[in-house]
Chain A
C-alpha cells in the first residue's frame, strides 16, 4: 500500500522558504565565512584530483613509468587503478571535513 497520498502540487521553489534563519538579508557574514572556507577546501581537493588523474596518469606518465609498483609501471597504475582509489578517498574526506565546517558555523543540516 502507498502511504503518501498527499494530493498537493509542489510549489515552485522561489528561494525564500529555504534561506536558513535569516531569509531577508542577502548574505550574512557567517555564511560568507563558511562559503570561503568551503571554496578553499574545494580548490585544494580539486588540485589533488587533477594531479593524480591528468598529472600522474597522463601528463607525467612517461616519467613515472620508469618506476614500478609490483608488475605495474607507475604511470600506468595511476591511469588504470590509482586515480580511482584516490577519487574515493577525496569524496569521503570532503564529506567528513564539510560536516566539521558546517558544525563550526552552525549551518549543518
Chain B
C-alpha cells in the first residue's frame, strides 16, 4: 500500500475514534460541559492534561527549534515542564478545593468583584486566542503536507472535527477524546524517535542515545559531533546557544509561570474528585509530558545531524525525495548562489525573508524564489524549522506507516489543544459573562446553549486566525505565556497565599501586567519589528521573556494598591481558610 493511502487510513481511523468518543460522552448538563461532571480519575486526567497541553508547537515545532538553536532550546524544555511543579504545589489543589468551573470564577469570587471577573475574562480571551491561532496554523500545515490539500482547506477540516466534539461533548467529550489523542500522539512521536536513535547511535532509547556515541566509527559523542560539524560550517557550538544568560533565564521563567497561569491547563484540575487528586493529577500529567519532552532534544539533535549529512554538498539532482516534497510544500528552498547545482549549507540565511516562489525552475531543476539573496552568507538552503519532526521519518527512510502515524499524531496534538482552548473561551463567555455577570436569571438549558454557541463562534474566529496567522507557530504560542504570566498567575497566587490582597489591588495588578506585557510585545513584533534586537530591549530581555517583568509589575502594583485600600471582607478570609485545607472538596464537588 502506498504511503498516501496509509495516511488517509490512519488519519481517518483516528478521526472516527474521536467522533465516536464525542458521541458516547456528550454533555447533558453545564457541570458536564464545564468540568466533565467533576469525577475524572487523576491518572486519566493527567493524560488528558498532557494532550491538552502538548500542542502543535510541542509536537511539530519544538524538536525543530531545539535542532536549530541547540542549548537555547532548553528554555522550552525547562519552561514548559517546570510550570507543572508550580501548578501542583501552588495552585491546583486550592483551585480544586474552591470547586467552581472557570478561572475567572475563582478570581471573581475571591476578589468579590464583578469587575475583577470581567478583567479576568478579558485576560483569558486574549491569552487563549493568541495561543489558538498557532494551533489552527499547525492543523493547516499538517493537513496540507499529508492530505495534499491547501492550508486553508486543512484549517477548515480541523475546525469541523473540533466543532463536533467540543461543541457536542464539552469538557466531558474533550477529556476522553484527549486521552485517545494522547495515546495517538505519544505513540506517533516515540516510534520514529526510537528508530532514529537506533540508526544514529545504536541505542534505541532516545534519552540515552543523545548521550551516546555516533554509529559512524568516529567514536565521537552525538553532541561532540554536532558541535564540531556546526562549528566547521560557521555556526556556534550546539551545546552553547546564542542567547544571553538573562534572556534564557527570563524566557524560562516566563514559560514556567505562564504554564501555571494558562486557563485551559488550570481548568483540567477542576475535573478531578478531590483536592489531593489535583496534586496527583499534575504529577501524572508531567510524567506523560516528560515522555515527549525528554525525547524532543534527542529527536532535534539526530534530525540536525541527518539533515546536514544528507543535504550539505549534495547535488540538487540527487537530493532525497523528502527534500523535494517539502520544497513543493513551500517549506524548503534551494538558492543556488554559485550556480554549481550543489547545495551548500552554512550559517546565515540563504535569502531575505520567507520564500516567495516564482513559477520557474532553475538550471538544476529547483523551484526559483524571487527573494533578494543574502550576500553576507554562502548558505544556499532555506529550511522551515517546523519540518524537522514531520520530515524525520522520511529523512531516516522509515516505512510508510510510520509517516502515516506521525501525520495522525500531529493532528491529534493540534486538535486536542485547540479543543481545550475553545472550551475555556466558551465557558468564560457563557458562565462568567452571561450567568455570573449580565444574565444571572438564565436557565441551565439556556446557559448550555449559550456555551455551545460561544464555542461555535470561537471556532470560527480561531479558524480565521489559522488561515491568516499573525506569526510563526511557536512564536505566537510563546506570547500567550507572557500574557498569562503577567496577568492571571499573580492574581490567583495572591488569592490563595495572601489574605490581605483585595479587589482593588488584584484588578490594578492584572491590568498593569497585561497592558505592559502586551504593549512591549506588540511594539517589538508589530509596530517596529526592525527594532527587535537585543540592544533595544529592556534589560536585554526579549519579548518572549518579558512576561516575567510584567509579572513583577503586577505583584508590585497589586501589593502597593492593596496597602492603600480597605482589606477584604471577613467572608473572603473564611473562603481563603477553606480553600487552604483539603477536607470537604468532595462536598464541593456534589454541591
Residue ranges of A at the interface with B (Cβ–Cβ < 8 Å): 2, 4-21, 23, 26-27, 31, 34-35, 38, 42, 45-46, 49, 53-54, 57-59, 65, 69-73, 76-77, 79-81, 83-85, 87-88, 90-92, 94-95, 98-99, 102, 107-109
Please list 15 pairs of residues, one from A and one from B, whose beta carbons are closer than 8 Å in the complex, sorted by A's number: A6-B31, A10-B101, A13-B109, A15-B571, A16-B571, A26-B573, A49-B86, A57-B74, A57-B252, A76-B71, A85-B294, A87-B82, A90-B85, A91-B89, A98-B279
How far is it, in angstroms, between the C-alpha of A108 and the C-alpha of B584 when the chains are bound? 9
Q: Which of B30, B207, B286 is close to A87, meaning CB atoms less than 8 Å apart?
A: B286
Q: In the complex, what's the smallest C-beta–C-beta distance from B584 to chain A, in angstroms? A: 5
CB <8 Å contact, A17 and B574: no
CB <8 Å contact, B290 and A95: no
CB <8 Å contact, A58 and B282: no
Residue ranges of B at the interface with A (Cβ–Cβ < 8 Å): 26, 28-32, 37, 66, 71, 73-74, 77-78, 81-82, 84-86, 88-90, 93, 97-101, 109, 207-208, 210-213, 221-224, 239, 245, 248-249, 252-253, 256, 274-276, 279-280, 282-283, 286-287, 290, 293-294, 297, 436, 443-444, 447, 570-575, 577-588, 591
Chain A contacts for B245, CB-based, 8 A: 58-59
CB <8 Å contact, B279 and A95: yes
CB <8 Å contact, A79 and B223: no
Chain A contacts for B98, CB-based, 8 A: 13
CB <8 Å contact, A13 and B591: yes
CB <8 Å contact, A15 and B211: no
Q: Say whether, besides A9-B444, A42-B89, A72-B211, A84 and B81 are in contact (CB < 8 Å).
A: yes
Q: Which residue of A lies closest to B577 (CB)?
A: A27
CB <8 Å contact, A4 and B279: no
Known A19-B578, A19-B584, A59-B245; 16 more pairs at CB < 8 Å: A12-B100, A20-B578, A49-B85, A69-B211, A70-B208, A72-B211, A81-B210, A81-B297, A84-B293, A88-B290, A94-B89, A95-B280, A98-B276, A98-B279, A102-B582, A109-B276
Closest 3 A-B residue pairs measured CB to CB? A71-B221, A15-B575, A70-B211
Q: Which residue of B lies closest to A65 (CB)?
A: B239
How far is it, in angstroms, between the C-alpha of A60 and the C-alpha of B409 when the chains are bound? 37
Q: Say whether, besides A4-B28, A49-B82, A71-B211, A85 and B290 are in contact (CB < 8 Å).
A: yes
CB <8 Å contact, B223 and A109: no
Q: Which residue of B lies closest to A34 (CB)?
A: B581
Q: Which residue of A lies closest to B222 (CB)?
A: A71
Q: Which of A10, A19, A79 is close to B74, meaning CB atoms less than 8 Å apart?
A: A79
Chain B contacts for A7, CB-based, 8 A: 29, 444
Q: Which of B77, B100, B286, B290 is close to A79, meaning CB atoms less than 8 Å apart?
A: B77
CB <8 Å contact, A108 and B574: no
Chain A contacts for B573, CB-based, 8 A: 26
Q: Which residue of A lies closest to B98 (CB)?
A: A13
Chain B contacts for A17, CB-based, 8 A: 587-588, 591
Chain B contacts for A4, CB-based, 8 A: 28-29, 31-32, 37
Chain A contacts for B571, CB-based, 8 A: 14-16
CB <8 Å contact, B28 and A5: yes
Q: In the complex, what's the smallest C-beta–C-beta distance from B46 to chain A, in angstroms? A: 10
Q: Say whether, besides A45-B89, A58-B252, A71-B224, A94 and B82 are in contact (CB < 8 Å).
A: no
How far is it, in angstroms, between the C-alpha of A79 and the C-alpha of B575 when the chains are bound? 39
Q: Which of A9, A19, A88, A109 is close to B286, meaning CB atoms less than 8 Å apart?
A: A88
Q: Say whether, besides A13-B109, A31-B581, A71-B222, A18 and B587 are in contact (CB < 8 Å).
A: yes
CB <8 Å contact, A53 and B224: no
Q: Say whether, besides A26-B573, A84-B294, A95-B283, A109 and B211 are in contact (CB < 8 Å).
A: no
Chain B contacts for A9, CB-based, 8 A: 30, 443-444, 447
CB <8 Å contact, A80 and B591: no
Q: Say whether, besides A26-B574, A90-B85, A109-B276, A18 and B210 are in contact (CB < 8 Å).
A: no
Chain A contacts for B294, CB-based, 8 A: 80-81, 84-85
Chain A contacts for B252, CB-based, 8 A: 53-54, 57-58
Q: Which of B253, B279, B570, B584 is close to A20, meaning CB atoms less than 8 Å apart?
A: B584
How far is it, in angstroms, between the C-alpha of A12 and the C-alpha of B101 when the chains are bound? 10
